[in-house]
Amino acid sequence: CGMPEGVFSMVHGSGQIVGSALVQHPITKAVGFTGSLKGGRALFDLAAARPEPIPVYAEMGSLNPVFVLPGALEERGEAFAQGLCGSVTLGVGQFCTNPGLVLGLEGDSMEKFISAAEEAFSNAEPGTMLNPGIRDAYEAGLGVLKEAGGVSLLAKSGTAVDAQATQAGAHVWTTDIDAFVGNDELSEEIFGPSTLVVKARDKAELIRAANKLDGHLTATIHGTEKDLEEHMDLVEILERKVGRIIFNGFPTGVEVCHSMHHGGPYPATTDGRSTSVGTAAIFRFTRLLSYQGFPQSGLPDELKDANPNGIFRLVNG
């Protein structure tokens, strides 16, 4: 790609020293980051404090809430439970788009879904996480839920976890809107195969919960077309909260394509206008430059009217 010799493609180092040095180095002009809110915010603040501030595109965490509406629960509650379990446990839950929060209306259909979810998560096998630090952080997050008032463990992996192999088991929890809204810890990401099901008494409580949400990468709605028509106010709230809204799917699938946006409002990322996946991601590491009054001979090939390189271009808007 024409990069000069001596430019490192990867620098190994533990702790914050290497990352901080790279962000503060004067030849660094932009930073991409995936990790914790604490780590991403620290790099963002370092970059802003430089004599020449630079952009930091940090992806820092997301609950990726899933709203399951009455029509979906009635028509396919059990299938939804299976799909949810598969999405939560994919890659041992180590996806930034892992659905860590599910919200729906209480009732017979919800109880059927709850029963199916209990069975699915009980049958989910433990998996090996990337490293002991991630596993320990996951266990700490589970500990918070265990101690939280109004939260109950519905089910967990039936097979014993091998702690020596840094394994983690799947967990599904339940609570109600009052407990969820009243405890900010329930809105924090647990990085791993765990999800919290929140039962609401009516639509107003779903809206209340949606308004409480911070910025996230994704939000998902499961429902019928009638459900969607009756919950457009929910959609309008989610449009302000996330970077991607999925209908009748699961957020863990992220296609690399022109239309993909993988980002979201703070604290999901430090710049919700930018995407880390898809063809637009390269613009993070470019800078706009305009040529005015130049003859064709003086322009880069990419800007010449004849387009000698045959590239895709946006002309006159």
CATH number at residue 159: 3.40.309.10
Closest to 62 in 3D by CA, of 221, 258, 272: 272
Structure-derived torsion over alpha carbons of residues 113, 117, 120, 126, reported in degrees to the nearest 10: 170
Are residues 75 and 4 located together in one domain of the fold? Answer: no
Of the CA atoms within 13 Å of residue 43, those in its CB half-sphere come to: 30
Looking at the chain, the number of H-run helices and the number of E-run strands are 9, 11
Tokens encoding 155: 């089910």
Burial of residue 224 (number of CB atoms within 10 Å: 0-12, 13-18, 19+):
middle
Tokens encoding 4: 């000069």
Is the pLDDT reported for residue 60 higher than 90?
yes
Q: What would the mean pLDDT of 63-74 be, rounded to a whole number?
A: 98
Are residues 162 and 208 located together in one domain of the fold? Answer: yes
Q: Is 171 helix (H, G, I), strand (E, B) or coil?
A: strand
Q: pLDDT at position 12, please?
A: 81
Q: pLDDT at position 1, please?
A: 55
Least-confidence region, from 167-171, 285-289, 305-309: 285-289
| Catalytic residue flag (residue 59) | yes
List, in order, residues 6 or more apart from 187 with CB less than 8 Å away. Answer: 63, 101, 180, 212, 213, 214
Burial of residue 28 (number of CB atoms within 10 Å: 0-12, 13-18, 19+):
middle
Whether 295 is in a domain gets the answer no
Q: pLDDT at position 164, please?
A: 87
209-222 b/e (C-beta count within 10 Å ≥ 16 → b): bbeebbbbbbbbbb
Are residues 238 and 130 located together in one domain of the fold? Answer: yes
Domain that holds residue 1: 1-60+258-289
Q: pLDDT at position 115, please?
A: 98
Q: pLDDT at position 3, please?
A: 66
Q: Taking the model in full, what pTM does it have?
A: 0.91
> CA 110, 207, 148: angle at the middle one, nearest 5?
65
| Catalytic residue flag (residue 236) | no
Among residues 1, 52, 59, 255, which one is catalytic?
Answer: 59
List, for residues 231-283, the tens digit of each pLDDT value: 999 999 999 999 999 999 999 989 999 999 999 999 999 999 999 999 999 99
Is the pLDDT reported for residue 13 higher than 90?
no
Whether 164 is in a domain gets the answer yes
List, for residues 192-243, the tens digit of each pLDDT value: 999 999 999 999 999 999 999 999 999 999 999 999 999 999 999 999 999 9
Are residues 3 and 77 located together in one domain of the fold? Answer: no
Among residues 85, 96, 189, 205, which one is catalytic?
Answer: 96
Number of domains comprising the chain: 2
Are residues 112 and 241 located together in one domain of the fold? Answer: yes
Are residues 133 and 119 located together in one domain of the fold? Answer: yes
Whether 98 is in a domain gets the answer yes
Are residues 80 and 223 located together in one domain of the fold? Answer: yes
List, for residues 98-157, the tens digit of each pLDDT value: 999 999 999 999 999 999 999 999 999 999 999 999 999 999 999 999 999 999 999 999
Report the alpha-carbon distance of residue 272 to residue 291 in Å, rounded.
29
Are residues 148 and 241 located together in one domain of the fold? Answer: yes
H or E element, residue 56: strand 56-59
Whether 220 is in a domain gets the answer yes
Mean pLDDT of the chain: 95
Closest to 148 in 3D by CA, of 191, 107, 115, 187: 187
Q: Which amino acid is at 311?
A: I
Q: pLDDT at position 262, please?
A: 96
What are the backbone dihedrals phi and psi of residue 180, each rounded to the nearest 5 degrees, phi first? -65, -50
